[in-house]
Amino acid sequence: MLYRENGQFKTSYEADQQIFPILQDRIGIGLLLAFAIVGVPLLADEYLFRAILIPFLILALAAIGLNILVGYCGQISLGTGAFMAVGAYAAYNFLVRIDGMPMIAAILLGGVCATVVGVLFGIPSLRIKGLYLAVATLAAQFFCDWAFLRIKWFTNDSASGSVSVSNLSFLGVAIDTPVEKYLFCLGVVIVFALIAKNLVRSHIGREWMAIRDMDVAAAVIGIRPVYAKLTAFAVSSFMVGVAGALWGFIHLGAWEPAAFSIDRSFQLLFMIIIGGLGSIMGSFFGAAFIVVLPIFLNQALPALGSLFGLEISTALVSHTEFMIFGALIVFFLIVEPHGLARLWSIGKEKMRLWPFPH
Amino acid sequence: MGFFLETLIGGLMSGVLYSLVALGFVLIFKASGVFNFAQGAMVLFAALAMARFSEWFPELLKFDNKLLANLLAFAAALAVMVLVAWLIEKLVLGRLVNQEGITLLMATLGITYFLDGFGQTIFGSSIYKIDIGLPKDPLFLLDGVFQGGLLVNKEDLFAAGIAAALVVGLSIFFQYTGTGRALRAVADDHQAAQSIGIPLSRVWVIVWSVAGFTALVAGIIWGSKLGVQFSLSLLALKALPVVILGGLTSVPGAIIGGLILGVGEKLSEVFIGPHIGGGIEIWFGYVLVLFVLLVRPQGLFGEKIIDRV
Amino acid sequence: MKFTTLALCATLAAAAAGSAFAQAKEQFFPVLSYRSGAYAPNGIPFANGYVDYLKLTNARGGINGVKVIWEECETGYATDRGVECYERLKGKNGGATVFHTLSTGITFALTEKVPTDKIPLITAGYGRSESTDGMVFKWNFPLTGTYWDAADIILQHIAKKEGGWDKLRGKKIAHIFHDSPYGKEPIPLLQERQKMHGFDLTLIPVTHPGVEQKAAWLQIRQLRPDYVLLWGWGVMNSTALKEAVATGYPREKMYGVWWAGAEPDVKDVGDGAKGYNALTLQHGAEPNSAIVKEVLDKVHAKGQGTGPKEEVGEVLYMRGLKAAMLSVEGVRRAQERYGKGKVMTGEQARWGYENLALDQKKLDALGFAGVLRPISTSCADHRGDVWARIHTWDGKKWNFSSDWYQSDQTIIKPMIKSAADKYAAEKKLARRDVSDCQT
């Protein structure tokens, strides 16, 4: 009843092809953005920014990048942590070695370096498929882990291998307080999400999806697998690299190679599986789920325990987190293998009909 | 020369140990087409069960004989692994029967996390000891030919022997028993096997139990070497390149892949490593596998991948 | 996502409301610990010791009457979880007093955050070596020792064994280290000493978590070094000893840093680790000390022990006790200036840590007679004197096997200054003015 598009006629091709053709959707997104840009800074406290919102935004960006590669192009990649590390360290080097380099330029250049590395490690995908490719990308992960520990040039010759950045600023405005960091990340994520959404709706996105569905048939009808796969790796690595640079600069402030280890790669893969492969919206859902769940469990489990009079040690909370995490992943895969985004679509479909049954 | 041989032997020994873990992967993939990422967690879980049971049984039942404790613990740990296998089949695999590869892979990743947390909850997260009487001191061969002799780890020799016995046992099982034949039929074609009356879910429970048994053996050997603690589950990351190198569906492939990887890793670490700062073992193995895959995308002994349009 | 955020806000608000009633009169100590993961075997006794001492402080009547409260947060030795724990606990219960991170990675991350949040960071026996310089690192306190001191003292002991620094020329020393900032931290000092005395230094990194050491020890077997320095943590230590047994390297020639010389590292190697030496951060295993007896009496006997009774007195447990003692004594010192019997803020506690004056009498009164030596800090020196001994495992327990050593400040002080200057230049920080020391 509320969600019908009766009366909404499109009179131009542009209107027909917009990302949110239904007026209610546009209003919804508008409200969401307004809340995110204005409401959240007014309502949220520092902890919420630092521990939940900023990691959520940055990981959502990385998840969008990974989703493009895995969800839209079908190339399984377990080396995302490495590409984030490349983005972070490259951005660091640009910032530190070139005087007067603006932070945003350093971050984008970090993304470009991640693109180069991504395309390099994406070349095997032309020959190797599926699970075997996943293992090949692990080579990227471990190699980068080692390179950033061993090659001192990357860490500006610091004795310990740990690097840090400070005095960040964007267009002359210092980015120090949590609100400023949040707004900066939000801006970057909005821009990149828009770019990603438009890319996957364009002809390159269709090429990616054709390769994912049946790469031999795609090659037969004239889609060049080399071009499609390598552009997928390139775009994905660019976003992941930018996310990595943001993670290091904005969220952590000081980091070492272990911050981008294989656990990070698995975490991102979980995000897109739970959120929904092949869906930009799904990346956000997945990122929110994975970021909030451990923190929620950390608060809820001791509270639950004290309800029953049990004192739950932090070790037990940590183990239970693992167990619930694993169980939830299996549960989601059984109940909805296409992820939270599919649940969202089903919800919208139902809303289209409500209150009518069909 | 002596040092090269020593490194080679050390590499072969490590390789055998990796293939012990890799065998589990291959077994499950062969029979059900599922890539079981949880194999590492199963090794850890089995090892924890063995270590803790061998501690708890003597306390609970008040006896002192170490051999008896170990045997009882082994039986109990095996029972636990069979139970785990049954539960996994019932709760997870049974409900994900027709899903694509990546979904099943993710499900096993979920199982990994669950087993990791569950194992540490029940059995604890310190370092535990498994003592099955394997000798720890080194053996020096050919003292006269090479200065200082060739170092061979006695424990690793035993492990190699056990692994060989396991492979032989598994081969006999698959070739000559009825159940083994049923497993091979299921691996070939699920639907055809079902249509001639082979009970799929029972077959899968058997497969996962055998993989659990392999995990237990691997867990005991690795636990005896390194002590039983959390990082055992990271062995899966070491076994992955072995499995890929050897081909996902070949048991001899797992062994040979393991040997190649072990040797490649150790030789590279010892001879190339010092020149570029060391610590290259892990990625060298993966890069090696990467290059092999570029030449043979299905691994050395795997079935050729045929894409139909 | 909005719903989960709202739900989380509600839970947090409820928790905050609940705790708000109980805040004003208590000193809050957050405990960053790791009781799971690859480093748990070493993290657990430390955390148990820390919490037990806080319980003991309450049993003794608090800090001049101020009760002590604490909350543990699991970091799993991961930097981002450590940062999340920090963010969650820093404002709770009236404000965190001080943080111990027990991880070099988390230390680096929090060093950037604590100056803004005004909470001191104690990194007793780890962290950045250059944070000794209090004029640059206002909020970091590497009390009683850093890795440069540790490396220096081990080399002093080796030189003493050989009969003098000049006898080290041509000797081979291998440094097996955890491939992380923790393991790489002592390398500058080792290289400095190598230049001075002409020994051969071989660096052998071991990737996290440290179970793959076969190749490293094969290299050692070929190198046949005269001494091996072990800079491991968690399971890397016991694996190193097992590999040493497997390759036949004499354990008597192995020297571990103070984080590689505790019971979890040697217990399951048992007799195989006999003769293994490690550095002690002032104390070793002290089962007969007064403080241990007091803890057993006032905490464990009442059923409030955090861990098993057998653990009390072990090396890492003592380290936790000592860390908590330093936390509490800094607050007590701060109370001397800002008001006895009052709850101290992070800033006030920081002044306390900067002006520690724990002489032997005070330490004996606290129960650390024969365990710790006097600790005193100043504005420029956030570390205090470094005292260490070597202890050796005899198959069943640790026994002290050397005299007290102090690190050679003539070499270390200039290194600290140049590293601190480099940090200040990078961060565009100015050195503190002497007048700032009074704040």
Tell me the pLDDT tens digit for each residue of C302-360.
Answer: 888 888 888 888 899 999 999 999 999 999 999 998 888 888 888 899 999 999 889 89
**What pLDDT score was predicted for residue A280?**
93
**What pLDDT score was predicted for residue C2?**
54
Give the nearest chain A residue to B119 (CA atoms).
Answer: A319
- The pLDDT-based confidence of A218 (bands split at 50, 70, 90) is very high
Contact B279 C35 (CB under 8 A): no
The percentage of chain A sitting over the pLDDT mark of 90, rounded to a whole number, equals 47
A21-58 pLDDT, tens digit per residue, is: 888 889 999 999 999 999 999 988 888 888 899 999 99
Contact A159 C11 (CB under 8 A): no
For tokens 């007679």, what's the residue?
Answer: C369
Using CA atoms, how far apart are residues C123 and C107, in angstroms rounded to an integer?
8
Give the nearest chain C residue to A168 (CA atoms).
Answer: C427
A231: pLDDT strictly greater than 90 = yes
Preceding omega of A102 cis (within 30 degrees of 0) = no
Nearest residue to C383 via CA among C353, C414, C345, C418: C353
**What pLDDT score was predicted for residue C252?**
92
* Concatenated DSSP letters of C138-184: TTEE-TT--HHHHHHHHHHHHHHHHTSGGGGTT-EEEEEEETTHHHH
A48-97 pLDDT, tens digit per residue, is: 888 899 999 999 999 999 999 999 998 989 999 999 999 999 999 999 88
More confidently predicted of B65 and A238: A238
Residues of B in contact with C207 (CB under 8 A): 279, 281-282
- The pLDDT-based confidence of C48 (bands split at 50, 70, 90) is very high
**What pLDDT score was predicted for residue C191?**
92
B139-193 pLDDT, tens digit per residue, is: 777 777 777 777 788 888 888 888 888 888 888 887 788 888 888 788 777 778 8
Using CA atoms, how far apart are residues B137 and A305, in angstroms rounded to an integer?
48
Give the nearest chain B residue to C263 (CA atoms).
Answer: B127
**What pLDDT score was predicted for residue C23?**
44
**Average pLDDT of the residues in A201-224:** 92
Residues of B in contact with C40 (CB under 8 A): 125-126, 229-230
**Average pLDDT of the residues in A330-354:** 88
Residues of B in contact with A145 (CB under 8 A): 282-283
Residues of A numbered 210-249 whose beta carbons fall under 8 angstroms of chain C's beta carbons: which are they?
A: none
A167: pLDDT strictly greater than 70 = yes
Nearest by CB to B226, which of C202, C204, C242? C242
Beta-carbon contacts below 8 Å between A and B? 139
CATH architecture type of domain C26-146+286-385+417-438? 3-Layer(aba) Sandwich (3.40)
Chain A contact for C80 (CB, 8 A cutoff): yes
**What pLDDT score was predicted for residue C14?**
47
CATH architecture type of domain C147-283+388-411? 3-Layer(aba) Sandwich (3.40)
Contact A160 C185 (CB under 8 A): yes
**What pLDDT score was predicted for residue C429?**
83
Q: Across chain B, what does the average pLDDT equal? A: 84
- Between the alpha carbon of residue B241 and those of residues B256, C34, C194, the distances in Å are 12, 30, 40
Angstroms from B294 CA to nearest CA on chain C? 27
Residues of B in contact with C215 (CB under 8 A): 7, 10, 265-266, 269-270, 273, 281
Report the number of secondary-structure helices (H) and strands (E) in chain C. 15, 14
Nearest by CB to B240, which of A135, A145, A216? A135
The percentage of chain C sitting over the pLDDT mark of 70, rounded to a whole number, equals 94
Say what the pTM is: 0.88
Residue C163: CB atoms within 10 A of its CB come to: 9
List the single range of A259-273, B136-150, C145-159 with lowest mean pLDDT. B136-150
**Average pLDDT of the residues in C30-41:** 87
C220-276 pLDDT, tens digit per residue, is: 988 899 999 999 998 899 889 988 988 889 999 999 999 998 888 888 787 888 999
| β-strand pairing of B150-153 with B138-141 | antiparallel
Contact B180, B174 (CB under 8 A): yes
- The pLDDT-based confidence of A200 (bands split at 50, 70, 90) is very high
B42-95 pLDDT, tens digit per residue, is: 999 999 999 999 888 888 887 777 888 888 889 999 999 999 988 888 888 888
Torsion from C-alpha of A178, A181, A184, A189, nearest 10 degrees = -100
**What pLDDT score was predicted for residue A159?**
67
DSSP bridge partners of B256: none
**Average pLDDT of the residues in A196-204:** 94
Contact A22, A8 (CB under 8 A): yes
**What pLDDT score was predicted for residue C4?**
53
- The pLDDT-based confidence of A193 (bands split at 50, 70, 90) is very high
Amino acid, res. B119: G
Residues of C in contact with B52 (CB under 8 A): none
Using CA atoms, how far apart are residues C363 and C289, in angstroms rounded to an integer?
12
Q: Across chain A, what does the average pLDDT equal? A: 89
**What pLDDT score was predicted for residue C22?**
42
Contact B240 A149 (CB under 8 A): no
Contact C181 A161 (CB under 8 A): yes
**Average pLDDT of the residues in C176-194:** 90
Q: At what angle do helices C409-427 and C187-197 cross, to 10 degrees?
A: 140
- Residue spans of the domains in chain A: they are 21-353
**What pLDDT score was predicted for residue C15?**
46
Residue A26: CB atoms within 10 A of its CB come to: 13
> A154-176: b or e for each residue (b if 16 or more CB lie within 10 Å)?
bbeebbbbbbbbeebebeeeebe
Counting Cβ atoms within 10 Å, is residue A310 exposed (0-12), middle (13-18) or buried (19+)?
Answer: exposed
Interface residues of B toward C, Cβ cutoff 8 Å, are 3, 6-7, 10, 14, 120, 125-129, 136-138, 140, 151, 153, 155, 225-227, 229-232, 234, 238, 265-266, 269-270, 273-274, 277-279, 281-282
Phi, psi of C209 (to 5 degrees): -85, 0
Q: Across chain C, what does the average pLDDT equal? A: 87
Contact A269 B106 (CB under 8 A): yes
Q: Rounded to 5 degrees, what angle do the CA atoms A161, A165, A169 make?
A: 165
Nearest by CB to A255, which of C15, C104, C109? C109
Domains of chain B, with CATH numbers? 2-295 (1.10.3470)
**Average pLDDT of the residues in B205-222:** 89
Using CA atoms, how far apart are residues B154 and B161, in angstroms rounded to an integer?
11
- The pLDDT-based confidence of A149 (bands split at 50, 70, 90) is confident
Chain C contact for A164 (CB, 8 A cutoff): yes
Was domain A21-353 assigned CATH 1.10.3470? yes
Contact C207 B279 (CB under 8 A): yes
Mutation site, A328, A329, A335, interface B, largest B CB count within 10 A = A329
Residues of A in contact with C70 (CB under 8 A): none
Residues of C in contact with B126 (CB under 8 A): 40-41, 44, 264
C12: pLDDT strictly greater than 90 = no
**What pLDDT score was predicted for residue C1?**
45
CATH 3.40.50.2300-classified regions of chain C: 26-146+286-385+417-438, 147-283+388-411
Name the helix (H) or strand (E) containing A348: helix A340-353
- The pLDDT-based confidence of C439 (bands split at 50, 70, 90) is low
C362-403 pLDDT, tens digit per residue, is: 999 988 888 888 998 998 899 988 999 999 998 888 999 888
Output the six-digit token pair for C189.
């000092």
